[in-house]
Amino acid sequence: MPRPYLLRFERPVIKLTRGLPEWSRYSFASANQRSFKTFDKTEIATQRLSGPPFHIELFEVRVDAPFRIHYEIQERQYFLFFMMEGDFTFTTPEGFYVSYAKSGCFSLVFNASGHYDIALPAGRYTALCIALDHEWLTFFSEDRKELRHFQERTLSKEHDLLPYCRIDRNVARCLKSLYTGVQQGKGSLDGQSRYYISLILEEYDRAVEEKRQNVPWKVKEYLDKRFSDPELSLKVLARELGVRPGSMRSQFISEFRTSPHEYYTSRRVELARRLILNHGLPLSKVFDQVGYNDESALRYEMKQFGKKCNF
């Protein structure tokens, strides 16, 4: 399976070695490539196993000063993303919110082709990323309601994710078996990888159905469908969902590290940017399509995102 993403870093690599540093805590027994990159105040160790229908990569990162990673998705791609240590936010290069990775949790993530960013504060991070072949995931999801609906929903989206769920004992056991126990011949390696990833997805499909009933995910689902409604507000949102505004806001921030208002404003301005850049529309033809009653309101929100939005 070809590598599903290309990584670029904001600072040059000072040193590149094959192998792992002494501080690495994970040994990916069946990895067919290992590398250790040293940057100014940042170190990144990676272990990779690539072969249809999966591309599996384990990242361990030590950051002493804020560090930014850019990555490019060349074709539509689904990922099982496990955040074993640390928290960070995914954005577009323009700063629009994409998702938030929570320590001790995992999610099924979708990215359309394009460019994305990860801003890492000082700290330590460990993540396992499994890119899934489209045909394999479609076949596997035929009788898994949440996974099937997610694939259908993302046909018209730029990026999306299913709820983050805890890496419980069962999932942790499968993960450990995947990166420490799968080390036999090529045929056995393929079969065992499919087996453990299938077990994880089966448990995840069951957990997602319950997690989607939680307030933050109900709010996100509502906003994803109605973010361009000009009548949308925190009070309207709380009334529609039958929850208290303050509680709803605090739960949403806890889950996504952004507020409901910041989330739907980001979606609005991101859509406005696409309409302007991709279709050549003037601001006067865009504001009402993205949820504003006048052009000045949209212009103000665009300025809040900063000059990097290139409006």
* Residue-wise pLDDT tens digits, 75-124: 999 999 999 999 999 999 988 999 999 999 999 999 999 999 999 999 99
pLDDT, greater one: 180 or 146: 146
Name the fold adopted by 215-309.
Arc Repressor Mutant, subunit A (1.10.10)
Instruction: Round to whole Å and give the CA distance between 225 and 227.
Output: 6
- Whole-number Å distance between alpha carbons of 95 and 100: 13
For the chain, the maximum distance between any two Cα atoms, rounded to a whole number of angstroms, is 64
Distance CA(72)–CA(69), nearest Å, equals 10
Is pLDDT above 80 for 187? no
CATH code for 5-211?
Answer: 2.60.120.10
Asked if residues 127 and 120 have their Cβ atoms less than 8 Å apart, the reply is no
Are residues 90 and 160 in contact, defined by beta-carbon separation less than 8 angstroms? no
pLDDT tens for 30-39 read 898 999 999 9
Apex CA 105: angle with CA 99 and CA 108, to 5°?
55
pLDDT band, very low/low/confident/very high, at 180 (cuts 50, 70, 90): confident
Q: DSSP label at 25?
A: -
pLDDT at 188: 64
Cα–Cα–Cα angle for 91, 125, 179, rounded to 5 degrees: 110
Domain boundaries, the chain: 5-211, 215-309
What pLDDT shows up at residue 303? 85
State if pTM tops 0.85.
yes
Q: How far apart are CA 270 and CA 117, in angstroms?
A: 15
**50-70 burial, b if ≥16 CB within 10 A, otherwise e?**
beebbbbbbbbbbbeeebebe
